[in-house]
Amino acid sequence: MRTLTTLHSFDSADGANPESALIHATDGYLYGTTTAGGANHDGTVYKFTPQGALTVLRSFDSTDGAAPTAPLIQATDGNFYGATSTGGANGDGTMFQMKSDGAIATLHSFDGTDGAQPFGGLVQATDGSFYGTTYYGGTQSYGAIYKLSIGLGPFVKAVPRFATGGTAVTILGTDLRGATNVGFNGTEATFTVVSATEITTSVPTGATSGRIQVTAPGGGLRTPLPFLVRP
């Protein structure tokens, strides 16, 4: 049996036309965007509880962007990042950082030559940088792929993010050749360096839930979120 419950109906004052998916942040809230509505009719960013309580964190005013069609991401520094499809200094969209209290900083305003209308979402790669696409603009006016670095450090990512002891785990990262140690919350594991971007290992006996650490030639790396060791 399927049951659908409407938790919130937007009324334009708190946003309208939510095109992007929600994300579940580390503080337990769900975060999302609307492409229209809000105080300036340029879209909003909001947080939401599973019980239906919605708080508008930001109403875009075109100068800081407008019409965010892409979902937010939460990066390794705990802040939220996203893109607006229009608005900004040149009207071609922006990339922005938002803190959990709604304070926004414009990181980049697209100007057409470097892309325009970034409808798609961002990803943070293991080198710490953000990557995305624009629908228009670029040297041929057919869109662009862009990278933006703001000084966030590299990290590693575990696939899967939870497993029982003895389960095979793949660790993805950057410049992993020459790695000398892999630890699951301090418990050392045997491992094989497959390539500069991949290590294979398994959950060692006695490991407990926590971050995975990798000692690589460039320094220590770890997973942004704890790895869950299941009993």
The boundaries of the domain holding residue 84 are: 23-148
Residue 54 lies in a domain: yes
Residue 1 pLDDT > 90, yes or no?
no
Within 10 A of 118 (CB to CB), how many other CB atoms are there?
31
Give 125-183 pLDDT, tens digit per residue: 999 999 999 999 999 999 999 999 999 999 999 999 999 999 999 999 999 999 999 99
Tokens of 212: 């995975």
Give 38-76 pLDDT, tens digit per residue: 999 999 999 999 898 999 999 999 999 999 999 999 999
Give 103-113 pLDDT, tens digit per residue: 999 999 999 99
Task: Tell me how many domains the chain contains.
Answer: 2
Res 179: pLDDT: 98
Do residues 215 and 127 both lie within one domain? no
Residues 207 and 229: beta-carbon distance below 8 Å: yes
Do residues 31 and 139 both lie within one domain? yes
Do residues 35 and 142 both lie within one domain? yes
Indicate the pTM of the whole model: 0.93
Give the residue-averaged pLDDT of 198-220. 97
Residue 59 lies in a domain: yes
Do residues 167 and 54 both lie within one domain? no
